[in-house]
Amino acid sequence: MSASLRPDFMEFHERPDKAVQQEAAKRCNNCGVPFCQAGVMISGMASGCPLNNLVPETNALVAAGNYKEAYKRLSKTHSFPEFTSRVCPALCEAACTCGLHTTPVPTRENERAIIDYAYEHDLVKEHKPTIRTGKRVAIVGSGPSGLAAAQLLNMRGHSVTVFERNDRPGGLLRYGIPNMKLDKRVLDRRIDLLKEAGIEFKCGVNVGKDIKASKILKEYDRVILCCGASNPRDIKAEGRDAKGIYFAVDFLKEVSKRLMDEDYSSKAVTEAKDFSFKSLKDKNVVVIGGGDTGNDCVGTAVRLGAASVTQLEMMPRPSEERLPSNPWPEWPKILKTDYGQQDAIKAFGHDPRIFETTVKEFIKDKSGNLTGVKTVKLKQEKDEKTGRFKMSEIPGSEEVLKADMVLIAAGFLGSESYITSDFGVECNERTNVATKNGEFLTSVENVFAAGDMHRGQSLVVWAISEGRKAAAEVDRSLMGYTNL
């Protein structure tokens, strides 16, 4: 994705020229073996599309300029192309055979063109069943897995109710991804269609607290838990109680909520008196974590007027090209400079990332306010007992960085215990809800799990894939067979 290089929170995605796009799509015809649609695990990482989109077919239709048929083809395997074409890291392109010797076919951009065309020409409809099965399904969580499961089960004729603890549906899509990557009006457009098709959304209802699992299980024939991996990993360092340290998920959520509440006015967000992060303006911000969430924090902090933004990454700086140990079609473990880092480079003149570094101490003043962080350099060493590599501190490498605010984006530890305990479902050692391999039924009868809550923190495209597969399994358990 190209950098936004703009001061507001509006989407930065650009639509390529149609003729250029069709010419690029023609290159897909040069492929002999389409790894792009495989969606398999190679060396522990995904290669190709987890939804198994038939990429060569859709690209061929784009090349021919037949966007209507391309949409029909894409919608057979994909629930929400408008989401993944904005936020997916494009596993299909990483596995593209053309990418072995040259640049891959821009499949993600093509998907965006297809779904944009479909909306512009009123082709996107959600099926409203004329006959209902009489079966009721509750879905807890309205993120990408919950929405995908709801879509298919409603299409099948079951009555679906989606419970969401936040004030608006969307889960991660709404409150975990900044507006400049995914405009929330794009999300609302799809949710409105799902509502029109008969899906009921109950927002502001925290299942496990506001309503107990026992009541849900009594009123519904099946339950799918799609609550996400929303338990943030903390940084246990001296001075952690300093004022000015926030989890990234809380930071991004409040910024997104404020933007929606203010009708997408960036000025209203930055100037609002009761906005918790208004104090970020002209402050020194340190982001702990080098993943997508950390990048989102960097891009958001730049937009909120931070004086400086530094991003700390524990792991070594990746190579700019594939290493022999990371051959195609494996996911390329190379340096990625995303939009947030690009915005920081434009704003401050340098890459905000510091690799092989972690926080050893949070420094605070007498009033308990954060004033800085003490960092320490790390080196990768092999553990002689386990044979695994680990990061170890380098003695004497400590430095102090000025910091008025720290955003912790160190990943997530899995599902939250109050919901799993209330339903009584078993969890694995990673606190993900446990099921048989390749299945979605939990240890509790009639209770299923999908998405990040089931597989751990992952990508939107994986969540959609899991939601669709869980829907088919639920449908089979209700009807004895499934055509989903």
Dump pLDDT digits (tens) for 288-308: 999 999 999 999 999 988 999
Which token pair is 185? Answer: 């009006």
Dump pLDDT digits (tens) for 59-81: 999 999 999 999 999 999 999 99
**Which residue do the tokens 């190579």 mark?**
319
* Angstrom distance (rounded) from CA 7 to CA 27: 36
Beta bridge partners of 393: 378
Mean pLDDT across the chain, nearest whole number? 93
Q: Give yes or no for residue 273 having a pLDDT over 80.
A: no
Dump pLDDT digits (tens) for 251-264: 999 999 989 998 88
CB atoms within 10 A of CB 208: 21
| Angle subtended at Cα 192 by Cα 268 and Cα 37, rounded to the nearest 5 degrees | 100
C-alpha of 272 from chain center: 28
Whether omega for the bond prior to residue 178 falls within 30 degrees of 0, making it cis, is no
Contact 281, 306 (CB under 8 A): yes
Dump pLDDT digits (tens) for 165-182: 999 999 999 999 999 999
Residue ranges and CATH numbers for the domains of the chain are 18-120 (1.10.1060.10), 136-230+413-479 (3.50.50.60), 245-408 (3.50.50.60)
Contact 222, 448 (CB under 8 A): yes
Q: What is the pLDDT of residue 265?
A: 84
Which token pair is 357? Answer: 């570094």
Contact 47, 41 (CB under 8 A): yes
Judged by DSSP in three states, 178 sits in coil
Give residues with Cβ within 8 angstroms of 284, minimum separation 6: 306, 307, 308, 310, 401, 402, 403, 404, 405
Who wins on pLDDT, 114 or 386?
Answer: 114
* Angstrom distance (rounded) from CA 444 to CA 285: 45
| Angle subtended at Cα 467 by Cα 480 and Cα 9, rounded to the nearest 5 degrees | 160
Query: Closest Cα partner for 142 from 228, 242, 44?
Result: 228
Taking phi first (over 0 means left), then psi (-120 to 50 degrees means alpha), and beta for anything else, what does residue 483 get? alpha
